[in-house]
Structure 1
């Protein structure tokens, strides 16, 4: 075909019922669309087969991860332009089936199938999670899911996260560095928890040990950090030893459901609760409540989604589930607060830091792209593309207020009496 881009653009717009907001560049070198717009690069016919055999977000993701589909120009601009057709359209494969009642759409799909070549569905990229059906959030399935995401390689995460090795939203000031913003986030959490020398802190989902080290070094507390990732634990233990903190910090490979050596004075859970799932969230909250002494504080730092008009229609993000966080689930903030209260906590403070996560993610993408060749060598081209797309798209989702992130401070209130917090609790903001 002499001009695949024009033909492809025309057919795609017939199927979508809307103009494509980006330029198309096809495998034959042809281009179509606004010359000043970023280009969606369809490198081969296999990209079309991926999107036709799995319409919607997952088909696009497979084409991107495999390298069959790319972007020429600014990735954020391209994703922002495409958001209305993909993430915010509300359509999936069922929507396409509905649109096929239109004879013109059926004709366009037939032409796209011809353009795509032999009707053989391509195998998904090897980075996609392959797993049999299982009960969600058993100890075994959670360990497998955590391994898929976090055991990508510590060297790879050093590229993305930088020296702080903190894999959660930083707390920014204008003009500050990523490292200073992550340090400020750890100090903000320490202040909200009221950490003082001699206390015991449980850090649930301790990652590479940054919060545990900060709390022990800066506030003199004893810390138990738990993770399901062996790679994270090994890295964190080395950092603890290098800091000379082995007498105050213990890093365990352990499920939070198996921690028996409470009570603790404080618990930090930073970017971990997204892995718990709706069905098990109340158990998660009750177990943490039971591990705190009366008057002890929990700081729950968690991404939230916006509530749906009909919660029964909520679907897990296909790309995230298949390539990034298997079995992960986001809940609305109100649901999280309700579950914490049902578990016996008194929720004392909620702070939204949504804009901070957008800035953090953009900085991580910059780090990845600046050392792209090494990141690819350490993992694979597909894995690097997964993280690039996931972080860039997530940055836009935070900026567009499709998702948020909140720090919820909750207390195991002693009976009888007050919470044990100062009368003016928000001294950390001064």
Structure 2
């Protein structure tokens, strides 16, 4: 009688010290665990070898991306239940070492090794980026990292992002379900334009311009001249075509260029939307200083950036292994306080900070729904592994925003001249955005 699931569940519970929160189905078809919960499907013994040879987050990710491990039922519920176990036990090497000091945990590991079969570490899935010892953030490594993430294919991004082609947090009205993703993304772009107080004839630099959505909106709706820079060849080609189709080639220029190489300032305003996460802690002051130098006195910067929760011991912070290996190589998140401090060190006067954490959770759930509704086409355009990476990354990220593990903030900063006249209104947040 098949019993792999029962044996596996007992060993995992013995290792973790808690009952499994989801049902388990093993490669022999057997099941064990609480009924009525999502089913964690362990399709083969190789999944166990992946977990044993790389315990924690990366091993789980490798098993998921390769298809050795999957979930039947609601993915959000499964991730929420499983992440509770990970967060409580600790994901890092110290947490694992503490667990394995218990004799019963060591016995469980021996049992899992026996179930896993040949003790050979499986090769990582092809979608995994080779790990580097440090985040250098040179022009070459940044370009390689951006290419890994954004040069997946414009057709794939169209499936996920929808017609707006905006790959950052949308700005939702309340109640959220009444708005479309496209309306919420348009409201976000308009919000940024109003915060920057854009006027006809001004020059805007859009750093990390993506597929050109912000540049097009600012030029079409506010009459500004825009330079957008990206390191992605595919994004630039797509953006240039959109600009031409809109008849805005006299107003908008899309460049494949590192922000550190932009030398045609000064600009009246700069937008940086979902780009600063790629800069890295070691380079952040350089990033802020470069943008400060590119602005006219009185010019404004809108920095839209994901932030993490601060830790009591910041020296213990580590980059998310799954994100670093499969999604954003060399990406780094900083607490909002650190971001504000670095902008001020560069010379900016920070005038407004708006936290829009819940908005990103709504946005990600819409993107996941788009991916799932077009799953077969997404697999055809990329690969089964790449599609699985995106489904896991976006669903897990939605939960992280909902649980306040990470947030997203819009920071409005001014290059205030020596006169002290910032040009800001006496009452902040006068930039209300009407919803269509």
The two structures have a TM-score, normalised by structure 1, of 0.98
Structure 1 residue aligned with 2:213: 210
Match of 2:407 in 1: 404
CA contact (8 A) 1:282 1:339 kept: yes
Q: What is the alpha-carbon root mean square deviation over aligned residues?
A: 1.1
Deviation larger for 83-92 or 32-41: 83-92
Q: Does the CA-based 8 Å contact 1:348-1:410 persist in structure 2?
A: yes
Aligned to 1:14: 14
Query: Which stretch has the larger CA shift, 420-429 or 393-402?
Result: 420-429
Q: Distance in 1 between matches of 2:298 and 2:338?
A: 23
> Are 1:57 and 1:87, in contact at CA under 8 Å, matched by a contact in 2?
no
Deviates more, 1:242-251 or 1:98-107: 98-107
Matched, 1:354 2:357: yes
**Conserved? CA contact 1:226–1:255, under 8 Å:** yes
Change (3 A) 1:85 1:224: same
Between the aligned partners of 1:356 and 1:249, the Cα distance in structure 2 is: 29
Distance 2:110 2:230 in 1: 50
- Shift of residue 131, structure 1, vs aligned partner: 5.2
Equivalent residue, structure 2, for 1:255: 258
Q: Deviations over 1:101-132 (max 9, x none)?
A: 22221111111000011000000000000255
2:129 alignment partner in structure 1: 129
Aligned to 1:245: 248
Secondary structure of 2:430's partner? helix
Residue 172 (str. 1) matches residue 172 (str. 2): yes
**Structure 1 residue 29: deviation in Å?**
0.5
Task: Show the counterpart of 1:427.
Answer: 430
Does 1:58 find its partner at 2:67?
A: no
Contiguous gaps of at least 5 residues in structure 2: none
8 Å contact from structure 2 (residues 89, 95) kept in 1 = no
8 Å contact kept, 2:46–2:122 = yes
Q: Is 1:291 paired with 2:294?
A: yes
| Aligned counterparts, 1:370-385, within 5 A | 370-385=373-388
Partner residue in 1 for 2:139: 139
The Cα offsets for residues 35-87 of structure 1, whole Å up to 9 and x where unpaired, read as 10101100000000000100000000000000000001000000011111224
1:362/1:117 CA distance change after superposition, 3 Å: same
Structure 1 residue 135, shift from structure 2 partner: 5.7
Matched with 2:371 is 368
Partner of residue 277, structure 1: 280
Equivalent pair of 2:135/2:330 in contact (CA under 8 Å):
no
Distance 1:22 1:178 in 2: 32
Distance in 2 of aligned mates of 1:89 and 1:402: 16
- Are residues 1:391 and 2:382 paired? no
Aligned to 1:320: 323
Q: 1:87 to 1:231 in 2, by over 3 A?
A: farther
> In 2, Cα distance between the equivalents of 1:91 and 1:378?
33
Displacement after TM superposition at 1:391 (Å): 0.1
Aligned residue in 2 for 1:222: 225
**Residue pair 1:170, 1:178 contacting (<8 A) in 2 also:** yes
Mapped contact 1:54–1:93 kept (Cα < 8 A): no
CA contact (8 A) 2:131 2:325 kept: no
Give the equivalent residue in structure 1 for 2:184.
181
Structure 1 position 239, deviation (Å): 0.2
C-alpha distance in structure 1 between counterparts of 2:150 and 2:260, whole Å: 20
2:2–2:29 CA contact under 8 A, matched in 1 = no
CA distance in 2, matches of 1:207, 1:135: 22
Offset at residue 246 of structure 1 (A): 0.3
Deviation at 1:420, TM superposition (A): 1.1
What is the TM-score with the length of structure 2 in the denominator? 0.97
Distance (whole Å) between structure 2 residues aligned to residue 300 and residue 425 of structure 1? 17
| Superposed displacement of residue 424, structure 1 | 2.3
Are residues 1:337 and 2:340 paired? yes
Q: After TM superposition, give the deviation of residue 157 of structure 1 in Å.
A: 0.2
CA contact (8 A) 1:46 1:116 kept: yes
- Any idea what SS the aligned residue of 1:84 has? helix
Pairs aligned (count): 430
1:24 equivalent in structure 2:
24
